[in-house]
Structure 1
Amino acid sequence: MKRKTALITGATSGIGMACARRFAVGGYNLIITGRSADKLQVLKAELEAGGVEVLALAFDVCNREATRDAVASIPDAFKPIDVLINNAGLARGLEPEYEGDFQDWDEMIDTNIKGLLNMTRFVVPEMVSLNHGHVINIG
């Protein structure tokens, strides 16, 4: 029987990394994503040492074309994607809102909202066609 596959964005630290480790223990094969190829390779080596098949894809979920291309590059061995965990996110600025930096806000919206939408748009159609899959959005 084929193992299930989970795709986790923002897997290079924090909650995303913890999700990758937990889903690995649960017997899933993993597609881990993030902006840092080096950090992804370290996590990939750790997870593979535990017997999990791992595909590491380095790209920024803000970049719609890169997201589309990354999802399109997923080999059949990692399909179908059973679980999508939209975890990639960031926070900028510590000042009060009335002094906030518009560039910081734009960057947060691009990552935390548009990045989630990009991933969902490119992964979920296959889930719908198979009538199978779960999406977990972390905010």
Structure 2
Amino acid sequence: MKTILKEDFRSHCAVNYGVEIFGDRWSLLIIRDIVFVGKKTYGDFLKSEEGIATNVLASRLAFLEEQGVLSKAPSPDDRRKDFYTLTEKGLDLIPIVLSIVLWSAKHDSKSYVRGLKAFITRLSQSPTQVTEEVKALVRNGGCMFPEINE
């Protein structure tokens, strides 16, 4: 996979920079899986219901690591597996993901999050506080909905 350098971006527009780094479907879904259900390994991400192809997953993980959004380290339990975690740069994407959740809850009548009315209400009323809580949780190895990944 080709390294993207600053001079390789289509423009220096702030929106374009974000789109170049995390604007594809798979990058945001990888970030979602880490934040919401605590996925950490290649195999975990491969099991996502959206059905990412193995080559696309490998490419996106490498790209996100290269861009400083993810870090990779060997699993403490099985050195043959790598754990992916969000860096501080990656954690700074959490408010974007939570904004997408709010937007989807409002506009998608079949969205899973519609069943989480208390969470959506709290996120709507205190987005900064909820974001900081989620960032701290993920920074410490947790996730929002651990029971979903069990």
Higher strand fraction (1 or 2): 1
TM-score, normalised on structure 2? 0.27
Higher helix fraction (1 or 2): 2
TM-score, normalised on structure 1? 0.29
